Amino acid sequence: MRRFYLLVLVCLLPCVLRAQDSEGQHKPILSPDKNWEYRVVDAETAVLVRAGDDKPIVKLSDPDDGSSLKTETGKLVWAPDSRRFALNYRSGGKYYTFDLYELAGTTWKKLPDVADTDAPVMRMIERSKRQQLKRLGAKKDASQNSVLETWRVRRWLNNDTFQAYAGSSARVMLTS
């Protein structure tokens, strides 16, 4: 009898956890000042609305433009003053990134992409990869297969500064 209960528990636990994840994934996220709300509408479109209102102020994703991954994987991180936020999301099979938005007067505007000015960070990542190749005993020009590129806002340190994570993973085949 114990085996039966254990088997039922093992079979049902993943289903329960998956249901909890999907429920929490589309839960509205309020800004710290409670004036703005991030919502997923129709399970396909992510929007920013005024709290208590249904009219979208900013469309963060739209199924018509192929940004359904933003809706499925989007996680919003608010600045403490609710005047800025970052939307972390998966942008493709091997790429995670984020968009930054700022309240300018009464309208939200998307800020320039951080990845466009990432040269110093990319140099550090490439230097680290070269060091790892050297430690593995691979040639400097060894062929690398990109596994994952990640740019993610972890948290806001204050109203103007955020802490981000940037990382790159690759595989290399070593032959002897």
Nearest residue to 148 via CA among 129, 164, 171: 171
Nearest residue to 77 via CA among 55, 99, 106, 103: 99
Residues 67-100 have pLDDT tens digits of 667 778 889 999 999 999 999 988 877 888 899 9
SS (H, E, C) 149-160: EEEEEEEECCCC
Give the start-end residues of each E strand in the chain: 29-30, 36-41, 45-50, 56-59, 75-78, 84-92, 95-104, 107-110, 144-156, 162-172
Number of domains in the chain: 1
C-alpha torsion sign, points 102, 63, 43, 49: positive
**Token pair for residue 120?**
């110093």
Write 157-165 long-range contacts (CB < 8 A, 24+): 158/79, 158/80, 159/79, 159/80, 159/81, 159/83, 159/84, 160/79, 160/84, 162/77, 162/79, 162/86, 164/98, 164/114
Chain centroid to CA 3: 40
How far is Cα 59 from Cα 38, in angstroms, rounded to an integer? 10
DSSP code, position 111: P
Which residue range forms the structural domain that includes residue 86? 2-172
Provide the pLDDT confidence category of residue 101 given band limits of 50, 70 and 90: very high
Least confident residue range of 20-29, 39-48, 117-126, 144-153:
20-29
Residues in the chain: 176
Percentage of residues in the chain having pLDDT higher than 90: 28
Least confident residue range of 22-26, 29-33, 124-128, 145-149:
22-26
Say what the pLDDT of residue 36 is.
94
Q: 166: which residues sit within 8 A by CB, 6+ positions away?
A: 118, 121, 125, 150, 151, 152
Residues 17-37 have pLDDT tens digits of 444 444 445 678 899 999 999
